[in-house]
Copies of this chain bind each other. A is one copy, B any other.
Amino acid sequence: MMKLSPQIQSFVLHFGEMGSRWGISRTVGQIYALLFVSARPLCAEEMAAALGISRSNVSMSLRELQAWNLVLLKHLPDDRRDFFTTPDDVWQILRTLAEERKKREVDPTLAVLTDILSRPPGDADERFAQARMTQMHGLIGQLSGWYDDVKGLDNARLTGLLALGAKVTRLLDAAEKILPRRRARPADVVGESQS
């Protein structure tokens, strides 16, 4: 069934499991993992053999990976078959993943919230519910804005940003002392309990 080295097999199986925790199927996760660690592009037949799954399953899974932009189609000279790889810059992979997940999860949620909040609340319960949704909308909006701001950074700057981490706040604190800024709009901070 699987003629993979134990190490690669562990990796592939783990990604299969993880796939289930995300929205993707076990097979899609396994195929991605396999391509990721493979030294050369693979054709569908090879993947089916390596993972012990049907040819048609590979076909469907690859289609899904392509929809996620996680996989690259290559053509070898004098070979009609389709070969596949993953992009090799892991930072780029991260960007793609973030972008796709935002598109599928964050944006629709923001849209639903915006729509609901545009309608006037009926009774007190609805007014409360809208207040809560406003908080959530504010939070997601801020995260989304931060992401848009940061997604264009190149690898070096991204690494730098991460390395800086919480140290940034020293600057913020310093700035606060010098020019005390007005607080964030109430709607965005309602329910704040820590601080």
Residues of A within 8 A of B (CB): 5, 7-8, 10-11, 14, 18, 20-23, 36-39, 87-92, 94, 104-105, 108-109, 112-113, 115-116, 119, 121-126, 128-130, 132-133, 135-136, 138-139, 142-143, 145-146, 149-150, 152-157, 159-169, 171-173, 184, 188-189, 191-195
Q: How far is the CA of A136 from the CA of B36 in the complex (A)?
A: 10
Q: Using Cβ atoms and an 8 Å threshold, which residues of chain B touch A162?
A: 142-143, 145-146
Determine whether the beta carbon of B36 is less than 8 Å from that of A191: no
Quote the shortest CB–CB distance from A110 to chain B (angstroms). 11
Q: Report the copy number of this chain in the oligomer.
A: 2
Q: Which of B88, B132, B159, B193 meets A37, CB within 8 Å?
A: B132
Choose from B7, B88, B152, B168 the contact partner of A130 (Cβ within 8 Å): B7
Task: Name the residue of chain B whose CB is nearest to the CB of A134.
Answer: B90
> 20 interchain pairs (CB within 8 A)?
A7-B121, A10-B116, A11-B113, A11-B116, A11-B129, A14-B109, A18-B105, A39-B129, A87-B193, A88-B191, A90-B191, A94-B139, A149-B165, A149-B166, A150-B165, A154-B195, A155-B192, A155-B195, A159-B188, A161-B169
